[in-house]
């Protein structure tokens, strides 16, 4: 499961997610894209949330001055706020922080962000009231997604601006999207969106605004989607490589188990094992058993050594993110000390450095998988390697065949090269220097999601080119490659003459991000 997960967008419809603050999965987060996935709180979380809120109420009653409860925020944390102004303090916090810019987050990503936030609050260390957490869940279940500009989070002090826009929707302010029965999203005033489903806007109490906006929820939303996409795509990359090997009548020698056993890197070994499985029982391989080709180029021969690091990076990213979506990431946090008395402790769990770094790492890996795939496309189109007409054109010279498919793949590589630049190394101190190191994790996470979608188009291009080459080979490819070829031909017809291949590339790119592609090997 670590190496090829079922796509929640397809296989987790009808799921009920029970939030307990400890067991939320990446697949469950992404399954919120299905309209019939529902959420509820566990009994243990209801108890923990209520106990945590009671401790906050004790502090308010004692009139003790505690950061985040009855003080200002950030550089203004030394300003004490009167008891009768605490509601206004929280509302002002949200309105002032809701100043994001740029394109709007897609509503499904917003719902995922809301789910992660609700699960964090469900741990019972944030001091929010039960009715606030329940409103978040009711909005998810009724497909109410506040309109949120994407840009604004520094990935430290939490995703402040995006989560503030989310909270405005909970307050009945700004606008929200609701999903109609036909799946379309319609924008309404947030107050009307809540009213439509019998929900009442929340009036924030002490600590609650900070509890909602201090956290890594936007980062987690984008990284959950990125990991699911990339796990699908690294599987598809091994499949595409195998198809291209058959298309150029390449050597299998480099995937011999003995080679990989003496350099037992986990990801490399997994990739090599998968490739061997894909190449089993091939007439093409048998037909050139005595040929004089000793070694293929690195883009074929070293594929496991290049694909493997992505598998390793994804395993670590999954471990880190699973911990993160089950963590309390706001500040301050509310604990009960050894005497049973409430203790509010300030720290930095909102800092997204670990998420920023895994986002950067995955973006670099994504570029490399696309880069090596593009090199294989070049060889499939090159008569020196394929033994076929240049660019697999039917009428060489009169037609260009698939020539420009490689050009477009190369253009995508340039995009991915830009996107592979590290974001975690960027730091802009804010809040008069009090918040003097930030992670830029939200930027890193969104960039990684964008990169994953670009990668799908390059792998799609490789599959289309290699399948075209296979059409011109009389021998039968391996069993798995035959299934790949048959599947591609369901959506993309053989190139009998020059035509635009944009739609061809897009449909295969879309399908390899679902379980439909991986499912063909289970039949």
d(CA 431, CA 279): 58
Query: Which tokens go with 464?
Result: 């289309």
Reading phi first (left if > 0) and then psi (alpha if -120 to 50, else beta), residue 5 is in: beta
Distance of CA 139 to the CA centre of its chain: 22
Helical axes 479-491 vs 217-247, angle rounded to 10°: 110
Query: Which tokens go with 477?
Result: 């490819």
114-135 CB burial, b ≥16 within 10 A, e <16: bbbbbbbbbbbbbbbbbebbbb
Query: Which tokens go with 345?
Result: 């402790």
Q: How many CB atoms lie within 10 A of CB 411?
A: 13
Asked if 252 is an active-site residue, the reply is no
Token pair 């003790």 in the structure block, residue: 64
Q: Which of 67, 222, 252, 298 is catalytic?
A: 67
For residue 192, what are the contacts with CB-CB under 8 A and spacing of at least 6? none
For the chain, the 3-state helix, strand and coil shares in percent, each to the nearest 5, are 55, 10, 35
d(CA 70, CA 88): 11
Q: In the sheet where 185-189 sits, what is the strand order?
A: 144-146, 175-179, 185-189
Backbone angles phi, psi at 185, to 5 degrees: -100, 130
d(CA 448, CA 420): 8
Would you please indicate which residues are annotated as catalytic (active-site) residues? Answer: 67
């Amino acid at each position: 499961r670590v190496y090829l997960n079922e796509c929640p967008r397809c296989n987790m419809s009808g799921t009920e997610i029970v939030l307990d603050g400890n067991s939320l999965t990446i697949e469950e987060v992404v399954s919120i894209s299905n309209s019939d996935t529902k959420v509820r709180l566990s009994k243990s979380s209801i108890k923990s949330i209520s106990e945590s809120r009671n401790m906050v109420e004790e502090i308010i009653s004692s009139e003790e001055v505690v950061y985040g409860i009855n003080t200002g925020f950030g550089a203004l944390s030394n300003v004490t706020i009167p008891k009768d102004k605490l509601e206004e303090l929280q509302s002002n916090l949200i309105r002032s922080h809701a100043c994001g810019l740029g394109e709007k987050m897609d509503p499904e990503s917003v719902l995922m962000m809301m789910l992660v936030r609700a699960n964090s609050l469900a741990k019972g260390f944030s001091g929010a009231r039960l009715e606030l957490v329940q409103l978040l869940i009711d909005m998810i279940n009724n497909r109410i997604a506040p309109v949120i500009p994407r840009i604004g989070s520094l990935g430290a002090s939490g995703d402040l601006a995006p989560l503030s826009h989310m909270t405005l929707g909970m307050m009945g302010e700004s606008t929200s999207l609701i999903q109609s029965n036909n799946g379309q999203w319609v924008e309404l005033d947030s107050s009307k969106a809540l009213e439509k489903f019998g929900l009442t806007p929340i009036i924030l109490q002490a600590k609650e605004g900070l509890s909602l906006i201090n956290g890594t929820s936007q980062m987690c939303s984008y990284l959950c989607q990125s990991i699911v996409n990339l796990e699908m795509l690294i599987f598809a990359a091994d499949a595409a490589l195998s198809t291209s090997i058959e298309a150029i009548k390449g050597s299998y020698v480099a995937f011999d188990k003995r080679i990989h056993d003496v350099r037992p890197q986990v990801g490399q070994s997994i990739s090599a094992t998968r490739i061997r499985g894909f190449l089993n029982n091939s007439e093409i391989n048998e037909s050139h058993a005595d040929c004089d080709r000793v070694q293929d180029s690195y883009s074929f021969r070293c594929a496991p050594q290049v694909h493997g690091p992505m598998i390793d990076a994804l395993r670590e990213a999954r471990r880190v993110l699973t911990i993160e979506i089950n963590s309390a990431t706001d500040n301050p946090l509310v604990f009960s000390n050894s005497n049973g008395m409430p203790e509010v402790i300030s720290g930095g769990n909102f800092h997204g450095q670990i998420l920023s770094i895994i986002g950067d790492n995955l973006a670099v890996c994504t570029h490399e998988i696309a880069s090596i795939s593009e090199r294989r496309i070049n060889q499939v189109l090159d008569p020196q390697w394929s033994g076929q007409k240049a660019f697999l054109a039917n009428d060489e010279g009169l037609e260009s065949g698939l020539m420009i498919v490689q050009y477009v793949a190369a253009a995508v590589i340039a995009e991915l090269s830009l996107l592979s630049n590290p974001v975690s190394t960027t730091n802009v101190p804010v809040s008069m220097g009090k918040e003097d190191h930030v992670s830029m994790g939200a930027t890193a996470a969104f960039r990684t999601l964008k990169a994953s979608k670009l990668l799908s188009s390059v792998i799609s291009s490789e599959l289309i080119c290699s399948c075209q080459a296979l059409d011109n080979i009389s021998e039968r490819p391996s069993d798995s490659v035959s299934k790949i070829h048959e599947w591609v031909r369901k959506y993309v017809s053989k190139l009998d003459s020059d035509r635009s291949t944009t739609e061809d590339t897009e449909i295969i790119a879309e399908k390899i991000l679902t379980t439909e592609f991986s499912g063909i090997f289970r039949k």
